Chains A and B, each alone.
Chain A
Protein backbone atom coordinates (compact mmCIF):
# COMPACT_ATOMS: atom_id res chain seq x y z
CA UNK A 1 0.00 0.00 0.00
CA UNK A 2 1.71 3.14 -1.15
CA UNK A 3 2.15 5.76 1.53
CA UNK A 4 1.06 8.56 -0.79
CA UNK A 5 -2.45 7.18 -0.99
CA UNK A 6 -2.86 7.47 2.74
CA UNK A 7 -4.20 10.28 4.81
CA UNK A 8 -3.08 10.96 8.38
CA UNK A 9 -4.18 12.42 11.69
CA UNK A 10 -2.12 14.46 14.11
CA UNK A 11 -2.35 11.51 16.51
CA UNK A 12 -0.36 9.36 14.09
CA UNK A 13 -3.16 7.30 12.63
CA UNK A 14 -3.32 6.61 8.88
CA UNK A 15 -6.45 6.15 6.80
CA UNK A 16 -6.96 4.51 3.44
CA UNK A 17 -10.29 5.17 1.83
CA UNK A 18 -11.88 2.36 -0.16
CA UNK A 19 -15.28 3.58 -1.33
CA UNK A 20 -17.25 4.30 1.82
CA UNK A 21 -14.91 2.29 4.05
CA UNK A 22 -11.92 3.74 5.86
CA UNK A 23 -9.14 1.29 6.72
CA UNK A 24 -6.99 2.60 9.54
CA UNK A 25 -3.96 1.85 11.66
CA UNK A 26 -1.05 3.60 13.31
CA UNK A 27 1.72 5.17 11.26
CA UNK A 28 5.17 3.83 10.62
CA UNK A 29 6.53 6.67 12.70
CA UNK A 30 4.23 5.81 15.62
CA UNK A 31 5.21 2.16 15.48
CA UNK A 32 8.84 3.08 15.57
CA UNK A 33 8.39 5.36 18.58
CA UNK A 34 6.42 2.72 20.45
CA UNK A 35 8.89 -0.08 20.05
CA UNK A 36 8.00 -3.76 20.06
CA UNK A 37 4.24 -4.09 20.21
CA UNK A 38 3.17 -6.79 22.65
CA UNK A 39 -0.59 -6.43 22.67
CA UNK A 40 -3.37 -4.71 20.77
CA UNK A 41 -6.76 -4.06 22.31
CA UNK A 42 -9.10 -4.02 19.33
CA UNK A 43 -12.50 -2.34 19.13
CA UNK A 44 -15.61 -4.46 18.85
CA UNK A 45 -17.22 -5.02 15.47
CA UNK A 46 -20.45 -3.06 15.42
CA UNK A 47 -19.17 -0.27 17.67
CA UNK A 48 -20.28 3.19 16.65
CA UNK A 49 -17.49 5.77 16.86
CA UNK A 50 -17.14 9.50 16.44
CA UNK A 51 -14.02 11.09 15.10
CA UNK A 52 -11.57 11.52 17.97
CA UNK A 53 -13.05 8.79 20.17
CA UNK A 54 -10.67 6.33 21.76
CA UNK A 55 -10.92 3.35 19.44
CA UNK A 56 -8.18 0.92 20.42
CA UNK A 57 -4.91 0.80 22.23
CA UNK A 58 -1.52 -0.55 21.41
CA UNK A 59 0.86 -1.73 24.11
CA UNK A 60 4.59 -2.04 24.07
CA UNK A 61 6.57 -3.38 27.02
CA UNK A 62 6.74 0.01 28.73
CA UNK A 63 3.85 2.05 27.39
CA UNK A 64 0.24 2.05 26.30
CA UNK A 65 -0.75 4.18 23.39
CA UNK A 66 -4.31 5.17 22.66
CA UNK A 67 -5.49 4.94 19.08
CA UNK A 68 -8.24 7.37 18.12
CA UNK A 69 -10.94 7.03 15.48
CA UNK A 70 -9.80 9.19 12.56
CA UNK A 71 -13.33 9.28 11.18
CA UNK A 72 -16.87 8.70 12.41
CA UNK A 73 -18.86 5.63 11.57
CA UNK A 74 -19.35 1.96 12.40
CA UNK A 75 -16.57 -0.52 12.95
CA UNK A 76 -17.29 -3.25 10.43
CA UNK A 77 -14.12 -5.29 10.67
CA UNK A 78 -11.08 -5.60 12.93
CA UNK A 79 -7.73 -7.19 12.19
CA UNK A 80 -8.02 -10.27 14.37
CA UNK A 81 -4.60 -11.44 13.25
CA UNK A 82 -3.20 -8.83 15.63
CA UNK A 83 -4.49 -10.80 18.61
CA UNK A 84 -1.88 -13.51 18.14
CA UNK A 85 0.59 -11.49 16.11
CA UNK A 86 0.78 -7.97 17.53
CA UNK A 87 4.24 -7.68 16.00
CA UNK A 88 2.55 -7.23 12.62
CA UNK A 89 2.21 -3.58 13.55
CA UNK A 90 5.98 -3.30 13.81
CA UNK A 91 6.57 -5.23 10.58
CA UNK A 92 4.02 -3.48 8.37
CA UNK A 93 2.19 -0.75 10.28
CA UNK A 94 0.68 0.82 7.20
CA UNK A 95 -0.22 -2.41 5.46
CA UNK A 96 -1.00 -5.76 7.01
CA UNK A 97 -0.77 -4.15 10.47
CA UNK A 98 -4.08 -2.33 9.90
CA UNK A 99 -6.29 -2.17 12.97
CA UNK A 100 -9.90 -1.56 11.94
CA UNK A 101 -12.24 -0.81 9.06
CA UNK A 102 -14.84 1.87 9.61
CA UNK A 103 -17.89 2.44 7.44
CA UNK A 104 -17.99 6.20 7.02
CA UNK A 105 -20.99 8.03 8.35
CA UNK A 106 -19.67 11.39 7.16
CA UNK A 107 -17.39 11.10 4.09
CA UNK A 108 -16.63 14.83 4.26
CA UNK A 109 -14.43 14.14 7.28
CA UNK A 110 -11.82 12.65 4.93
CA UNK A 111 -11.02 16.13 3.67
CA UNK A 112 -10.06 17.17 7.18
CA UNK A 113 -7.29 14.61 7.39
CA UNK A 114 -3.66 15.45 6.70
CA UNK A 115 -1.96 14.63 3.47
CA UNK A 116 1.15 12.48 3.51
CA UNK A 117 3.25 15.58 2.87
CA UNK A 118 1.76 17.51 5.75
CA UNK A 119 2.19 14.53 8.07
CA UNK A 120 5.83 14.17 7.08
CA UNK A 121 6.31 17.84 7.88
CA UNK A 122 4.67 17.40 11.24
CA UNK A 123 6.85 14.53 12.36
CA UNK A 124 10.15 16.00 11.23
Chain B
Protein backbone atom coordinates (compact mmCIF):
# COMPACT_ATOMS: atom_id res chain seq x y z
CA UNK B 1 0.00 0.00 0.00
CA UNK B 2 1.59 3.22 -1.18
CA UNK B 3 1.11 5.05 2.14
CA UNK B 4 2.94 2.28 4.03
CA UNK B 5 6.65 2.40 3.21
CA UNK B 6 7.63 -0.64 5.30
CA UNK B 7 8.26 -3.77 3.28
CA UNK B 8 7.65 -7.26 4.65
CA UNK B 9 11.40 -7.67 4.85
CA UNK B 10 11.61 -4.45 6.88
CA UNK B 11 8.94 -5.63 9.25
CA UNK B 12 10.56 -8.99 9.74
CA UNK B 13 14.00 -7.61 10.46
CA UNK B 14 12.66 -4.86 12.70
CA UNK B 15 10.80 -7.45 14.76
CA UNK B 16 13.95 -9.50 15.00
CA UNK B 17 15.91 -6.46 16.10
CA UNK B 18 13.40 -5.96 18.87
CA UNK B 19 13.47 -9.61 19.87
CA UNK B 20 9.84 -10.14 18.97
CA UNK B 21 8.61 -12.91 16.72
CA UNK B 22 5.18 -11.63 15.73
CA UNK B 23 3.48 -8.21 15.43
CA UNK B 24 0.62 -9.54 17.54
CA UNK B 25 2.94 -9.51 20.56
CA UNK B 26 3.01 -5.73 20.38
CA UNK B 27 -0.67 -5.77 21.23
CA UNK B 28 -0.52 -8.16 24.19
CA UNK B 29 -2.03 -5.51 26.48
CA UNK B 30 -5.26 -5.44 24.52
CA UNK B 31 -7.95 -7.57 26.24
CA UNK B 32 -7.87 -10.84 24.33
CA UNK B 33 -11.62 -11.19 23.86
CA UNK B 34 -11.78 -7.85 22.04
CA UNK B 35 -8.54 -7.98 20.12
CA UNK B 36 -8.47 -7.84 16.32
CA UNK B 37 -12.16 -7.36 15.47
CA UNK B 38 -13.14 -8.77 12.10
CA UNK B 39 -14.35 -5.46 10.60
CA UNK B 40 -16.12 -7.50 7.94
CA UNK B 41 -18.54 -4.68 7.16
CA UNK B 42 -15.65 -2.56 5.94
CA UNK B 43 -14.87 -2.89 2.23
CA UNK B 44 -11.49 -3.62 0.74
CA UNK B 45 -9.16 -0.87 -0.45
CA UNK B 46 -10.00 1.14 -3.53
CA UNK B 47 -7.21 1.89 -5.96
CA UNK B 48 -6.74 5.46 -7.09
CA UNK B 49 -8.77 5.12 -10.28
CA UNK B 50 -11.59 3.34 -8.47
CA UNK B 51 -11.58 5.88 -5.70
CA UNK B 52 -11.90 8.74 -8.16
CA UNK B 53 -14.75 6.91 -9.80
CA UNK B 54 -16.47 6.46 -6.44
CA UNK B 55 -16.25 10.17 -5.69
CA UNK B 56 -17.29 11.18 -9.18
CA UNK B 57 -20.46 9.20 -8.63
CA UNK B 58 -21.01 10.95 -5.33
CA UNK B 59 -20.41 14.29 -7.03
CA UNK B 60 -22.88 13.38 -9.75
CA UNK B 61 -25.51 12.76 -7.10
CA UNK B 62 -25.35 16.50 -6.32
CA UNK B 63 -27.64 18.43 -8.60
CA UNK B 64 -27.04 21.95 -7.31
CA UNK B 65 -24.43 23.04 -9.84
CA UNK B 66 -27.15 23.35 -12.48
CA UNK B 67 -28.84 26.09 -10.51
CA UNK B 68 -28.44 29.83 -10.20
CA UNK B 69 -28.28 30.30 -6.46
CA UNK B 70 -29.18 33.26 -4.26
CA UNK B 71 -28.52 31.41 -1.03
CA UNK B 72 -26.63 33.35 1.66
CA UNK B 73 -27.52 33.52 5.33
CA UNK B 74 -24.05 33.09 6.74
CA UNK B 75 -22.24 31.45 3.80
CA UNK B 76 -21.54 33.54 0.72
CA UNK B 77 -20.45 32.75 -2.86
CA UNK B 78 -17.60 34.98 -3.94
CA UNK B 79 -15.03 35.06 -6.69
CA UNK B 80 -11.83 33.30 -5.64
CA UNK B 81 -8.73 34.14 -7.73
CA UNK B 82 -6.95 31.03 -9.02
CA UNK B 83 -3.74 32.22 -7.47
CA UNK B 84 -5.28 31.82 -4.01
CA UNK B 85 -6.31 28.23 -4.71
CA UNK B 86 -2.85 27.35 -6.02
CA UNK B 87 -0.79 29.03 -3.32
CA UNK B 88 -2.88 27.66 -0.48
CA UNK B 89 -2.59 24.12 -1.89
CA UNK B 90 1.17 24.12 -1.41
CA UNK B 91 2.34 21.36 0.88
CA UNK B 92 4.46 23.88 2.79
CA UNK B 93 1.28 25.53 4.05
CA UNK B 94 -1.00 22.52 4.08
CA UNK B 95 1.06 19.89 5.84
CA UNK B 96 2.92 21.41 8.78
CA UNK B 97 1.67 21.27 12.35
CA UNK B 98 0.94 24.22 14.61
CA UNK B 99 4.09 26.36 14.52
CA UNK B 100 5.44 25.45 17.96
CA UNK B 101 9.02 25.34 16.62
CA UNK B 102 9.18 28.84 15.21
CA UNK B 103 12.71 28.41 13.79
CA UNK B 104 11.25 26.25 11.03
CA UNK B 105 7.78 27.75 10.83
CA UNK B 106 8.37 31.37 9.81
CA UNK B 107 6.29 30.89 6.67
CA UNK B 108 3.09 30.06 8.56
CA UNK B 109 3.85 32.51 11.35
CA UNK B 110 4.50 35.49 9.11
CA UNK B 111 1.46 34.68 6.97
CA UNK B 112 -0.72 34.64 10.07
CA UNK B 113 0.85 37.85 11.39
CA UNK B 114 -0.09 39.48 8.08
CA UNK B 115 -3.60 38.02 8.37
CA UNK B 116 -3.95 39.45 11.89
CA UNK B 117 -2.84 42.84 10.61
CA UNK B 118 -5.34 42.90 7.75
CA UNK B 119 -8.18 41.91 10.07
CA UNK B 120 -7.33 44.80 12.38
CA UNK B 121 -7.24 47.15 9.41
CA UNK B 122 -10.69 46.04 8.26
CA UNK B 123 -12.25 46.10 11.71
CA UNK B 124 -10.48 49.15 13.08
CA UNK B 125 -9.46 47.13 16.15
CA UNK B 126 -6.12 46.86 17.94
CA UNK B 127 -5.63 43.09 18.08
CA UNK B 128 -6.76 40.06 16.11
CA UNK B 129 -6.28 36.41 16.97
CA UNK B 130 -5.16 33.72 14.54
CA UNK B 131 -8.66 32.27 13.99
CA UNK B 132 -11.53 30.44 15.66
CA UNK B 133 -13.69 27.62 14.27
CA UNK B 134 -16.45 29.66 12.62
CA UNK B 135 -18.74 32.66 13.04
CA UNK B 136 -21.07 30.96 15.49
CA UNK B 137 -18.38 29.76 17.89
CA UNK B 138 -16.58 33.10 17.50
CA UNK B 139 -19.76 34.86 18.62
CA UNK B 140 -19.97 32.52 21.61
CA UNK B 141 -16.32 33.15 22.51
CA UNK B 142 -16.91 36.90 22.29
CA UNK B 143 -19.87 36.63 24.62
CA UNK B 144 -17.76 34.71 27.12
CA UNK B 145 -15.00 37.31 26.83
CA UNK B 146 -17.44 40.14 27.60
CA UNK B 147 -18.69 38.22 30.60
CA UNK B 148 -15.19 37.51 31.86
CA UNK B 149 -13.87 41.01 31.46
CA UNK B 150 -16.91 42.73 32.90
CA UNK B 151 -17.37 40.16 35.68
CA UNK B 152 -21.11 40.48 35.12
CA UNK B 153 -23.25 37.42 34.47
CA UNK B 154 -25.89 39.00 32.28
CA UNK B 155 -25.38 39.52 28.53
CA UNK B 156 -27.83 40.91 25.98
CA UNK B 157 -28.13 39.25 22.58
CA UNK B 158 -29.82 40.90 19.63
CA UNK B 159 -32.75 38.95 18.21
CA UNK B 160 -31.37 39.66 14.75
CA UNK B 161 -28.20 37.62 15.33
CA UNK B 162 -27.92 34.63 12.97
CA UNK B 163 -30.17 31.92 14.47
CA UNK B 164 -27.44 29.31 14.28
CA UNK B 165 -25.11 31.66 16.18
CA UNK B 166 -27.78 32.08 18.86
CA UNK B 167 -28.14 28.31 19.09
CA UNK B 168 -24.39 27.88 19.53
CA UNK B 169 -24.30 30.56 22.20
CA UNK B 170 -27.12 28.78 24.04
CA UNK B 171 -25.27 25.46 23.86
CA UNK B 172 -21.99 26.99 25.02
CA UNK B 173 -23.45 28.69 28.08
CA UNK B 174 -25.90 26.00 29.19
CA UNK B 175 -23.60 24.73 31.95
CA UNK B 176 -22.14 28.09 32.94
CA UNK B 177 -23.40 30.77 35.24
CA UNK B 178 -24.33 33.20 32.49
CA UNK B 179 -27.72 34.63 31.73
CA UNK B 180 -28.63 35.74 28.25
CA UNK B 181 -31.52 38.02 27.38
CA UNK B 182 -32.79 38.91 23.93
CA UNK B 183 -33.13 42.45 22.62
CA UNK B 184 -35.87 42.59 20.01
CA UNK B 185 -35.72 43.99 16.52
CA UNK B 186 -37.66 47.04 15.43
CA UNK B 187 -39.83 45.45 12.77
CA UNK B 188 -40.11 48.60 10.70
CA UNK B 189 -36.39 49.25 10.29
CA UNK B 190 -35.04 45.75 10.80
CA UNK B 191 -32.58 47.14 13.33
CA UNK B 192 -32.03 46.57 17.04
CA UNK B 193 -34.76 48.38 18.94
CA UNK B 194 -32.71 51.00 20.79
CA UNK B 195 -35.43 51.82 23.30
CA UNK B 196 -35.75 48.15 24.17
CA UNK B 197 -31.96 47.99 24.51
CA UNK B 198 -31.93 50.94 26.91
CA UNK B 199 -34.65 49.41 29.02
CA UNK B 200 -32.92 46.06 29.27
CA UNK B 201 -29.48 47.39 30.18
CA UNK B 202 -28.60 47.71 33.82
CA UNK B 203 -25.50 47.67 36.04
CA UNK B 204 -25.41 43.91 35.95
CA UNK B 205 -25.18 43.71 32.17
CA UNK B 206 -21.75 42.78 30.89
CA UNK B 207 -22.44 43.66 27.28
CA UNK B 208 -24.54 43.55 24.16
CA UNK B 209 -23.82 41.33 21.18
CA UNK B 210 -25.40 42.35 17.90
CA UNK B 211 -24.77 41.49 14.25
CA UNK B 212 -24.20 43.97 11.46
CA UNK B 213 -25.25 43.51 8.73
CA UNK B 214 -27.70 41.43 10.72
CA UNK B 215 -29.37 38.16 9.78
CA UNK B 216 -32.05 40.07 7.89
CA UNK B 217 -29.41 41.90 5.88
CA UNK B 218 -29.82 45.22 7.67
CA UNK B 219 -26.86 47.39 8.63
CA UNK B 220 -27.09 48.46 12.27
CA UNK B 221 -26.17 51.77 13.81
CA UNK B 222 -23.23 50.26 15.66
CA UNK B 223 -22.26 53.64 17.07
CA UNK B 224 -25.62 54.21 18.70
CA UNK B 225 -25.71 50.71 20.16
CA UNK B 226 -22.19 51.01 21.54
CA UNK B 227 -22.86 54.40 23.05
CA UNK B 228 -25.91 53.11 24.88
CA UNK B 229 -23.99 50.08 26.15
CA UNK B 230 -21.17 52.26 27.40
CA UNK B 231 -23.47 54.43 29.48
CA UNK B 232 -23.94 51.33 31.64
CA UNK B 233 -20.24 50.45 31.46
CA UNK B 234 -21.23 47.43 29.39
CA UNK B 235 -19.24 46.18 26.39
CA UNK B 236 -20.37 46.23 22.78
CA UNK B 237 -19.60 43.31 20.46
CA UNK B 238 -20.37 43.39 16.77
CA UNK B 239 -20.76 40.08 15.01
CA UNK B 240 -20.06 39.99 11.28
CA UNK B 241 -21.33 37.00 9.31
CA UNK B 242 -20.52 38.47 5.88
CA UNK B 243 -16.91 39.64 6.12
CA UNK B 244 -17.11 41.30 2.71
CA UNK B 245 -19.33 43.94 4.31
CA UNK B 246 -16.30 45.23 6.20
CA UNK B 247 -14.85 46.49 2.92
CA UNK B 248 -17.98 48.54 2.29
CA UNK B 249 -19.07 49.73 5.72
CA UNK B 250 -17.40 51.94 8.27
CA UNK B 251 -15.07 49.94 10.53
CA UNK B 252 -16.59 48.92 13.87
CA UNK B 253 -13.54 50.37 15.59
CA UNK B 254 -14.54 53.85 14.46
CA UNK B 255 -18.00 53.44 15.94
CA UNK B 256 -17.15 52.66 19.52
CA UNK B 257 -17.46 48.89 19.24
CA UNK B 258 -15.24 47.02 21.73
CA UNK B 259 -14.81 43.77 19.88
CA UNK B 260 -15.69 42.22 16.54
CA UNK B 261 -16.23 38.51 16.00
CA UNK B 262 -17.60 36.55 13.12
CA UNK B 263 -17.14 34.62 9.93
CA UNK B 264 -14.52 35.33 7.29
CA UNK B 265 -15.45 32.54 4.85
CA UNK B 266 -16.12 35.27 2.29
CA UNK B 267 -12.40 35.90 2.10
CA UNK B 268 -11.28 33.20 -0.27
CA UNK B 269 -12.90 30.09 1.19
CA UNK B 270 -15.27 28.06 -0.99
CA UNK B 271 -18.80 27.36 0.20
CA UNK B 272 -17.70 23.77 0.78
CA UNK B 273 -21.10 22.67 2.06
CA UNK B 274 -20.47 24.50 5.30
CA UNK B 275 -16.82 24.08 6.15
CA UNK B 276 -14.04 24.49 6.89
CA UNK B 277 -14.75 28.17 7.45
CA UNK B 278 -12.95 30.88 9.37
CA UNK B 279 -14.00 32.34 12.67
CA UNK B 280 -12.28 35.63 13.43
CA UNK B 281 -12.05 37.86 16.46
CA UNK B 282 -10.56 41.31 16.85
CA UNK B 283 -10.64 43.48 19.96
CA UNK B 284 -9.39 46.66 21.54
CA UNK B 285 -6.03 46.50 23.31
CA UNK B 286 -7.55 46.12 26.79
CA UNK B 287 -8.60 42.53 26.00
CA UNK B 288 -5.07 41.44 25.18
CA UNK B 289 -4.65 39.02 28.07
CA UNK B 290 -8.11 37.58 27.72
CA UNK B 291 -8.70 37.13 24.01
CA UNK B 292 -9.06 33.43 23.17
CA UNK B 293 -7.23 31.59 20.44
CA UNK B 294 -3.69 31.61 19.18
CA UNK B 295 -1.85 34.85 18.48
CA UNK B 296 1.33 35.47 16.54
CA UNK B 297 3.69 38.15 17.77
CA UNK B 298 6.85 39.75 16.48
CA UNK B 299 10.27 39.35 18.04
CA UNK B 300 13.88 38.73 17.02
CA UNK B 301 16.10 35.68 16.92
CA UNK B 302 19.57 35.67 18.32
CA UNK B 303 20.97 37.09 15.14
CA UNK B 304 18.63 40.03 15.54
CA UNK B 305 16.50 39.02 12.57
CA UNK B 306 12.85 39.96 12.71
CA UNK B 307 10.91 36.78 13.49
CA UNK B 308 7.45 35.63 14.42
CA UNK B 309 6.29 33.34 17.21
CA UNK B 310 3.09 32.13 18.87
CA UNK B 311 2.85 34.23 21.97
CA UNK B 312 0.81 34.90 25.09
CA UNK B 313 0.29 31.16 25.20
CA UNK B 314 -0.60 31.12 28.85
CA UNK B 315 -4.14 32.19 27.92
CA UNK B 316 -4.65 28.89 26.21
CA UNK B 317 -6.39 25.85 27.54
CA UNK B 318 -3.60 23.36 27.11
CA UNK B 319 -1.75 25.50 29.64
CA UNK B 320 -4.57 26.87 31.77
CA UNK B 321 -6.22 23.43 31.91
CA UNK B 322 -9.27 23.55 34.17
CA UNK B 323 -8.87 27.30 34.54
CA UNK B 324 -9.09 27.77 30.81
CA UNK B 325 -11.34 30.52 29.71
CA UNK B 326 -12.01 29.27 26.22
CA UNK B 327 -12.07 26.08 24.22
CA UNK B 328 -9.75 26.25 21.21
CA UNK B 329 -6.53 24.45 20.35
CA UNK B 330 -6.40 23.37 16.71
CA UNK B 331 -8.13 26.26 15.00
CA UNK B 332 -8.50 27.14 11.31
CA UNK B 333 -4.98 28.39 10.65
CA UNK B 334 -4.76 27.26 7.03
CA UNK B 335 -8.06 29.03 6.36
CA UNK B 336 -6.61 32.20 7.86
CA UNK B 337 -3.55 31.95 5.62
CA UNK B 338 -5.81 31.39 2.63
CA UNK B 339 -7.89 34.41 3.62
CA UNK B 340 -4.70 36.47 3.89
CA UNK B 341 -3.71 35.34 0.39
CA UNK B 342 -7.16 36.37 -0.85
CA UNK B 343 -7.05 39.76 0.84
CA UNK B 344 -3.53 40.40 -0.47
CA UNK B 345 -4.51 39.37 -4.01
CA UNK B 346 -7.55 41.60 -4.17
CA UNK B 347 -5.70 44.27 -2.28
CA UNK B 348 -6.96 47.64 -1.21
CA UNK B 349 -8.70 48.63 -4.43
CA UNK B 350 -9.93 45.15 -5.26
CA UNK B 351 -11.61 44.53 -1.97
CA UNK B 352 -13.31 47.95 -2.02
CA UNK B 353 -14.42 47.41 -5.61
CA UNK B 354 -15.77 43.91 -5.11
CA UNK B 355 -17.57 44.86 -1.91
CA UNK B 356 -19.15 47.79 -3.70
CA UNK B 357 -20.23 45.53 -6.56
CA UNK B 358 -22.00 43.31 -3.99
CA UNK B 359 -24.07 46.24 -2.87
CA UNK B 360 -24.75 47.68 -6.31
CA UNK B 361 -25.98 44.31 -7.59
CA UNK B 362 -28.26 43.89 -4.61
CA UNK B 363 -29.55 47.46 -4.88
CA UNK B 364 -30.22 46.87 -8.59
CA UNK B 365 -32.25 43.79 -7.77
CA UNK B 366 -34.19 45.66 -5.07
CA UNK B 367 -35.03 48.37 -7.59
CA UNK B 368 -36.17 45.83 -10.18
CA UNK B 369 -38.24 44.01 -7.57
CA UNK B 370 -40.18 47.22 -6.88
CA UNK B 371 -42.07 46.57 -10.06
CA UNK B 372 -43.21 43.09 -9.05
CA UNK B 373 -46.67 42.68 -7.52
CA UNK B 374 -46.03 39.46 -5.65
CA UNK B 375 -42.87 40.30 -3.73
CA UNK B 376 -41.76 43.16 -1.52
CA UNK B 377 -38.35 44.05 -0.13
CA UNK B 378 -39.10 44.26 3.58
CA UNK B 379 -36.15 46.42 4.62
CA UNK B 380 -35.28 48.59 1.61
CA UNK B 381 -32.85 50.78 3.49
CA UNK B 382 -29.35 50.10 4.76
CA UNK B 383 -28.64 46.66 3.40
CA UNK B 384 -25.31 45.39 2.09
CA UNK B 385 -25.80 42.26 -0.05
CA UNK B 386 -28.84 40.53 1.45
CA UNK B 387 -32.51 41.43 1.45
CA UNK B 388 -35.64 39.95 2.96
CA UNK B 389 -38.30 39.44 0.35
CA UNK B 390 -41.91 39.11 1.49
CA UNK B 391 -43.91 36.80 -0.79
CA UNK B 392 -47.51 37.77 -1.45
CA UNK B 393 -50.38 35.91 -3.08
CA UNK B 394 -48.50 32.62 -3.21
CA UNK B 395 -47.06 30.21 -0.66
CA UNK B 396 -43.32 30.49 -0.15
CA UNK B 397 -42.85 26.80 -0.91
CA UNK B 398 -44.77 27.14 -4.16
CA UNK B 399 -42.66 30.11 -5.19
CA UNK B 400 -39.45 28.26 -4.43
CA UNK B 401 -40.75 25.30 -6.40
CA UNK B 402 -41.55 27.53 -9.32
CA UNK B 403 -38.10 29.09 -9.16
CA UNK B 404 -36.51 25.67 -9.00
CA UNK B 405 -38.27 24.72 -12.21
CA UNK B 406 -36.46 27.70 -13.69
CA UNK B 407 -33.25 26.33 -12.25
CA UNK B 408 -33.05 29.05 -9.61
CA UNK B 409 -32.48 28.66 -5.87
CA UNK B 410 -34.38 31.72 -4.69
CA UNK B 411 -32.86 32.25 -1.29
CA UNK B 412 -33.31 30.76 2.16
CA UNK B 413 -36.92 30.44 3.38
CA UNK B 414 -37.06 32.30 6.67
CA UNK B 415 -39.75 30.02 8.06
CA UNK B 416 -36.88 27.71 8.92
CA UNK B 417 -35.84 30.25 11.53
CA UNK B 418 -38.55 32.74 12.39
CA UNK B 419 -42.35 32.52 12.54
CA UNK B 420 -42.55 36.32 12.08
CA UNK B 421 -41.02 35.99 8.64
CA UNK B 422 -42.57 32.70 7.60
CA UNK B 423 -43.75 34.32 4.37
CA UNK B 424 -40.32 35.62 3.48
CA UNK B 425 -37.14 34.63 1.70
CA UNK B 426 -33.62 35.84 2.44
CA UNK B 427 -31.79 36.54 -0.79
CA UNK B 428 -28.08 37.13 -1.22
CA UNK B 429 -26.53 38.75 -4.28
CA UNK B 430 -22.79 39.09 -4.63
CA UNK B 431 -20.30 40.20 -7.26
CA UNK B 432 -20.63 36.81 -9.00
CA UNK B 433 -24.20 37.47 -10.06
CA UNK B 434 -24.33 39.07 -13.50
CA UNK B 435 -26.95 41.56 -14.68
CA UNK B 436 -28.75 38.90 -16.66
CA UNK B 437 -28.75 36.58 -13.63
CA UNK B 438 -30.61 39.26 -11.73
CA UNK B 439 -33.06 39.74 -14.59
CA UNK B 440 -33.56 36.01 -14.79
CA UNK B 441 -34.52 36.01 -11.12
CA UNK B 442 -36.81 39.02 -11.49
CA UNK B 443 -38.54 37.49 -14.51
CA UNK B 444 -39.02 34.17 -12.77
CA UNK B 445 -40.40 35.92 -9.67
CA UNK B 446 -42.74 37.89 -11.85
CA UNK B 447 -43.97 34.79 -13.60
CA UNK B 448 -45.00 33.06 -10.40
CA UNK B 449 -48.67 33.04 -9.49
CB-CB under 8 A for A41 and B289, given A62-B314, A64-B314: yes
CB distance B320 to A64 under 8 Å? yes
A72–chain B nearest beta-carbon distance, Å: 22
Q: Does A63 belong to the interface (CB within 8 Å)?
A: yes
Q: Does A36 belong to the interface (CB within 8 Å)?
A: no
CB distance A63 to B289 under 8 Å? no
CB distance A62 to B289 under 8 Å? no
Q: Does A122 belong to the interface (CB within 8 Å)?
A: no
> B319 is contacted by which of A39, A41, A62 (Cβ under 8 Å)?
A62
CB distance B289 to A39 under 8 Å? yes
Q: Which residues in window 278-317 of B have CB below 8 A to A?
A: 289, 313-314
| CB 8 Å contact bits of B171-186 with A (1 = contact, 0 = none) | 0000000000000000
Q: Does A123 belong to the interface (CB within 8 Å)?
A: no
CB distance A61 to B289 under 8 Å? no
Q: Does A74 belong to the interface (CB within 8 Å)?
A: no
Bound Cα distance from A64 to B323, whole angstroms = 10
Q: Does A77 belong to the interface (CB within 8 Å)?
A: no
Task: Tell me what chain A mostly uses at the interface: helix, strand, loop, or mixed.
Answer: strand
Bound Cα distance from A64 to B289, whole angstroms = 12
Bound Cα distance from A61 to B314, whole angstroms = 7
| CB 8 Å contact bits of A53-91 with B (1 = contact, 0 = none) | 000000111111000000000000000000000000000
Chain A, residue nearest B311 (CB): A61
Contacts of B289 in A (CB 8 A): 39, 41
A48–chain B nearest beta-carbon distance, Å: 15
Contacts of A41 in B (CB 8 A): 289
Bound Cα distance from A59 to B289, whole angstroms = 11
Bound Cα distance from A64 to B325, whole angstroms = 13
Contacts of A59 in B (CB 8 A): 314
Q: Which of A41, A60, A63 has the most CB of B within 10 A?
A: A63
Q: Which of B313, B314, B320, B323 has the most CB of A within 10 A?
A: B314
Bound Cα distance from A62 to B314, whole angstroms = 6
Bound Cα distance from A60 to B312, whole angstroms = 9
Bound Cα distance from A39 to B314, whole angstroms = 10
| CB 8 Å contact bits of B156-177 with A (1 = contact, 0 = none) | 0000000000000000000000
Contacts of A39 in B (CB 8 A): 289, 314
B301–chain A nearest beta-carbon distance, Å: 15
Q: Which residues in window 16-74 of A have CB below 8 A to B?
A: 39, 41, 59-64
Chain B, residue nearest A41 (CB): B289
Chain A, residue nearest B323 (CB): A64
Bound Cα distance from A41 to B323, whole angstroms = 15
Bound Cα distance from A63 to B319, whole angstroms = 6
B407–chain A nearest beta-carbon distance, Å: 57
A27–chain B nearest beta-carbon distance, Å: 20
Bound Cα distance from A68 to B317, whole angstroms = 21
Bound Cα distance from A39 to B312, whole angstroms = 9
Contacts of B314 in A (CB 8 A): 39, 59-64
B210–chain A nearest beta-carbon distance, Å: 30
Contacts of A62 in B (CB 8 A): 313-314, 319
Contacts of B319 in A (CB 8 A): 62-64
Q: Which residues in window 172-217 of B have CB below 8 A to A?
A: none
Bound Cα distance from A63 to B313, whole angstroms = 8
| CB 8 Å contact bits of B234-247 with A (1 = contact, 0 = none) | 00000000000000
16 A–B contact pairs at CB < 8 A? Answer: A39-B289, A39-B314, A41-B289, A59-B314, A60-B314, A61-B313, A61-B314, A62-B313, A62-B314, A62-B319, A63-B314, A63-B319, A64-B314, A64-B319, A64-B320, A64-B323
Sample of 14 further A-B pairs with CB below 8 A, known A61-B313, A62-B314? A39-B289, A39-B314, A41-B289, A59-B314, A60-B314, A61-B314, A62-B313, A62-B319, A63-B314, A63-B319, A64-B314, A64-B319, A64-B320, A64-B323
Q: Which 5 A-B pairs have the closest CB atoms?
A: A64-B314, A59-B314, A64-B320, A64-B319, A63-B319
